[in-house]
Amino acid sequence: MFKKVLIANRGEIAVRVIRACREMGIRSVAVYSDVDRASLHVRKADEAYHIGPATARESYLNIARILEAAKRSGAEAIHPGYGFLSENAGFARACTDAGIKFIGPTGDAMDRMGSKTRARQAMSKANVPFVPGSLRGMEYPDTEKKAAEIGYPVMLKAAAGGGGKGMRMVRSQQDLKSAFEGARSEAERSFGDGEVYIEKYIENPRHVEMQIFADEHGDCVYLGERECSVQRRHQKVMEESPSPIVDEEMRRRMGEIAVRVSKAAGYTNAGTVEFIVDQDRNFYFLEMNTRLQVEHPVTELVTGLDLVHLQMQVAAGERLPFKQEDVRLRGHAIECRIYAEDPDNNFFPSPGKITLLLLPSGPGIRRDSGMYEGWTVPLDYDPLLAKLIGYGSDREQAISRLQRALYEYFVGGIKTNISLFRRILRHQDFRTGRIDTGFLDRLLADKNYDLPLDETSEANKARVAAIAAGLFNILQPVNGSGVVSTNSTAKTNATDVSKWKQVGRLEATRS
């Protein structure tokens, strides 16, 4: 096993990997940019190295600086987390060339699956079902012919895409050309690659993905599915495992195909095969994510496996310590991605100093977090702060535990999307599992579906302010020692009132 691992990432995923290293007796090395000097992952790691200014291109995306930090620290391996360089085949090869183990798939496997069109071509040869469409990018005249062949509506997608960039849904021929040009332009700006392909648009689809794990000795298993249909602008917001619509037979078929995809790609380590599911529960290959996923905790909770531990073991050359028949799913887990953004203001980013942080806990609650009270959230990176996961014996219990935890969660000084999850969890369609990739957009567009009273409600802000004014009128000012001050002009029998008690009283007014 490795003695020292560098984490080429930041935030909650860096903290997650650092914790796994500590559990395994591995020394952890953090890297940080100028604005991340005081970040939690830097504080948690055994060592930390500065790699440049805030701009990601000059720090977290700078391969040379990360490899230099690895050499200076004596790290034997690099864990890329997700995002940044995690799916960069050139980075994986550069690690190998430098004599450092990349904890993930090979650069060749990334190349095979990194381009969606190359992946579709490979899956066609492997007899994997995928949505009807083109196997490669095409110029506009051929795209127009293909659209007529498969029928509208169609979806245009960037071959090197992700995160909803370079995607356009087209319902008629007269809209195709402008959508094609827009998708190609956005793909070029976002990925440096303007290749665009076309596929049939599936109405009201569900997004279901299968976690796979492959060692370097030819063994590969699937670890159950995750439902990822709660999305905003093609980006996941909530995930759960197992999926409400997947039964044992569908799970087996989907898992076997995911393993076939992995073997066709020559894949090793953790990976995720994504499928789109139509209203008749037919599923089609969408793409493969060649890294650990943001939503991996829900799989960990229902399987009892630690995926980051497994990543380290497989990268060190060990065999998977179990067979497919040993994998059992128990209970239900749901994850909320907590972002520094304002859901009442078109999800505008909300950087700034966290002035107060009240954290949820209790049975069935897990938090993967990269924030702390007093930390300043930078504007320079993805606004993901933490992940809150609820686990229960069944879906109903997982939902109720998560609801309770969300009402305990408070982040002061910045805006977060915590209130959005409260709204989602009380929606009848979500509670009954009737969701698809358009569910969240419909919920947000429904002006008649009011938010419950909480800190994002204008009516409740006034209510809380009025109650707070009354409390402060009754309570004496608190001095620096946390004890109520006495006033020589007024007699009082008040006992000591701590700041925590005052905060508790104010928080009680939020419900």
Nearest residue to 213 (alpha-carbon basis) of 339, 337, 91, 300: 300
CB under 8 Å to 244, separation ≥6 — which residues?
A: 227, 395, 433, 435
Strands 283-289 and 332-339: unpaired
For the chain, the structural domain boundaries read: 4-103, 132-200, 206-445, 458-508
d(CA 59, CA 322): 38
pLDDT (tens digit per residue) in 176-222? 999 999 999 999 988 889 999 999 999 899 999 999 999 999 999 99
Cα angle for residues 225, 267, 369 (degrees, 5° grid): 55
CATH of 132-200, one of 3.40.50.360, 3.30.1490.20, 3.40.50.740, 2.40.160.40: 3.30.1490.20
CB under 8 Å to 364, separation ≥6 — which residues?
A: 390, 391, 392, 397, 398, 401
Crossing angle (nearest 10°) for helices 296-303 and 307-315: 100
Q: Is 57 a catalytic residue?
A: no
Poorest-pLDDT segment among 163-177, 258-272, 286-300, 386-400 = 163-177
3-class DSSP state for residue 294? coil
Give the pLDDT band of residue 455 (cuts 50, 70, 90). Answer: very low
CATH 3.30.365.10 fits 206-445, yes or no: no
Give the global pTM: 0.84
Catalytic residue among 112, 291, 401, 423: 291
Give the pLDDT band of residue 468 (cuts 50, 70, 90). Answer: low
Give Cα 185 to chain centroid, integer Å: 26
Q: By the 8 A CB rule, do 309 and 20 touch? A: yes
Q: What is the CA radius of gyration of the chain?
A: 25
Specify the CATH architecture of the domain 4-103.
Answer: 3-Layer(aba) Sandwich (3.40)
Q: By the 8 A CB rule, do 42 and 29 touch? A: no
Poorest-pLDDT segment among 91-95, 139-143, 248-252, 453-457 = 453-457
d(CA 438, CA 426): 17
d(CA 34, CA 54): 5
- Residue 320 gets which letter from DSSP? P
**Which residues are bridge partners to 226 per DSSP?**
209
Tokens of 380: 């320079």
Q: By the 8 A CB rule, do 268 and 291 touch? A: no
Q: Over range 81-96, report the average pLDDT.
A: 97
Nearest residue to 291 (alpha-carbon basis) of 28, 114, 93: 114
pLDDT (tens digit per residue) in 362-403? 999 999 999 999 999 999 999 999 999 999 999 999 999 999
